[in-house]
Copies of this chain bind each other. A is one copy, B any other.
């Protein structure tokens, strides 16, 4: 900001939080190393989503190695979609190591509620204070103890139905909570952002939500001034804007074509497109 002589001198205004587009550029420059302990349905698409955005995926998910790696990774995702016993041990180890080392981490409590093993593990992990919790409304409600969980990986509730649960989780665990739906909701307990980008096609391909969890982990590592709330908003915004671009590019072709175009759009995304399309209230 230049201050021209002869005008009345004012203090520089607070530039405000970093925009999603600026976060995108920071993330691409940093090429963060994102450790993923995730379900075996989406490992491939998750790795490709990260690579397309300029991050570096590392699916280090076995005991002993998971903890070692969580100390050097830029960010960590723990997704409970298909939690084998080795993955459960690896998840515990990595969450502890990440917390100790200051590695930001995301918990995605996939399909908790009716399924006992993952539900117990999710409650154990959330007590370790994840940087971000990401889920659909049913999962957020179940994690907050306010619902019985969804129909498998699907959710029947809207994101605003989970707002109170999300705020409670955020305040209790010091986490940012991101609730996915037609309108995505992000809160740190105080601030609330409603993000209205995206496309229904994201629900017609597997990994649409899971790979967003990994994307958030990538953005957390480049949070500006430690503002994980805005980094999460940026991750959700950029990801869903890219999905819109892909939907436009393949309109009517179907989910197979969309999945391919989505990877292309994530790779090609720029700050101008994000600024042009992002819808936040």
Contact = CB atoms under 8 A, between A and B. Distances in A.
Given A82-B62, A152-B33, A204 B68 contact: no
Contacts of A206: 44, 47-48, 51, 57
A57 B41 CA distance: 10
Contacts of A152: 33, 56-58, 60, 69
Interface stretch (A139-147, A178-186, A260-268, A271-279): A260-268
Q: How many copies does the complex hold?
A: 3
A153 interface: yes
Interface residues of A, number: 59
Contact of A256 (B62, B115, B262): B262
Contacts of A61: 82
Contacts of A60: 82, 111, 115, 152
A116 B62 CA distance: 11
A153 B254 CA distance: 30
Given A44-B45, A64-B116, A154 B56 contact: yes
A165 B114 CA distance: 40
A255 B44 contact: no
A72 interface: yes
A207 interface: yes
Contacts of A65: 115-118
Contacts of A256: 48, 52, 259-264, 267
Nearest to A41: B43
Contacts of A42: 44
Nearest to A208: B51
A263 B254 contact: yes
Interface stretch (A5-13, A83-91, A124-132): A83-91
Contacts of A18: none
A151 interface: yes
B68 A114 contact: yes
A40 interface: yes
A3 interface: no
A256 to B, nearest CB: 3
